[in-house]
Amino acid sequence: MDFLSIPTEDKQRALTELREIKDLFAARNWFPGTSGNLSIRVGDYEPDSFHFAITASGKDKSVHTPEDFLFVDQDGKPCETTRLKPSAETLIHCELYRLTGCGAIFHTHTVFNNVVSEWFWERGSIPVEGVELIKAFNIWDEEAHIDIPVIPNYADIPKIVPEVTKRFDPRVPGIMLRKHGIYAWGANAFEAKRHLEAFEFLFEYVYRWELLKQSKASI
Ligand SMILES: [Zn+2]
């Protein structure tokens, strides 16, 4: 499907949803220093042919401007004439859409996700054991255990892409870049938001639990 044959209203809907999510996450201070990015896919999907709307690079996400979003293709190239540059991390979105066929991907930098990614760096993943909110990922086992993959954070984004491919786990809808931030995805914006919120809850839980364990051990 080429970009021009995607109905305008579908594109408008994606931009409206992105704006709502952007407002909500900005209010939570989830985009410090213009960091973070959001994308929503539009139109038909094939692993080697798709389009999505994504936040433009380097913009303050706490304000609305005509320069907040643009549409790109499966290679991260703009679909329309624009002066905007897609987020530097667009290639990670491209790879996650290719791997999952999902409908939305949200990425945030928070203190909790950064700290736990470093704490468990050598382990290669962040373990979470038996916490109720694991159910947000549609994992219903009692006392479920998940490992959230942690991958290296290279300055050269194309170098990160094969790490995403290698560590992608279809059971866990998120991947953590070391001391950088979480990428969470879902079938649509609603699901991607639910997943991201669950990850952030679990990161804070893990952080606080590890701290309690340490202080108990030192008594
Ligand atoms: Zn980032």
Q: For residue 206, what is the domain's CATH number?
A: 3.40.225.10
Is 145 annotated in a binding site? The answer is no
The answer on pLDDT for 182 being more than 80 is yes
The pTM of the full predicted model, rounded to 2 decimals, is 0.96
Provide the residue count of the chain: 219
H or E element, residue 20: helix 8-27
Strand 145-151 with 174-177, pairing: parallel
Ligand 1 centroid–CA 179 distance in Å is 10
Ligand 1 centroid–CA 218 distance in Å is 35
Residues 10-45 have pLDDT tens digits of: 999 999 999 999 999 999 999 998 899 999 999 999
User: In this predicted structure, what is the pLDDT of residue 1?
Assistant: 72
Rounded distance between C-alpha atoms, residue 107 and residue 84, angstroms: 19
User: In this predicted structure, what is the pLDDT of residue 18?
Assistant: 97
Ligand 1 centroid–CA 143 distance in Å is 31
Half-sphere exposure of 134 (CA within 13 A, CB side): 19
> What is the residue whose two structure tokens read 């643009």?
70
Residues 194-209 have pLDDT tens digits of: 999 999 999 999 999 9
What is the domain range of residue 96?
Answer: 3-217
Is 109 annotated in a binding site? The answer is yes
Residues 62-85 have pLDDT tens digits of: 889 999 999 999 999 999 999 998
Number of domains in the chain: 1
Ligand 1 centroid–CA 192 distance in Å is 16
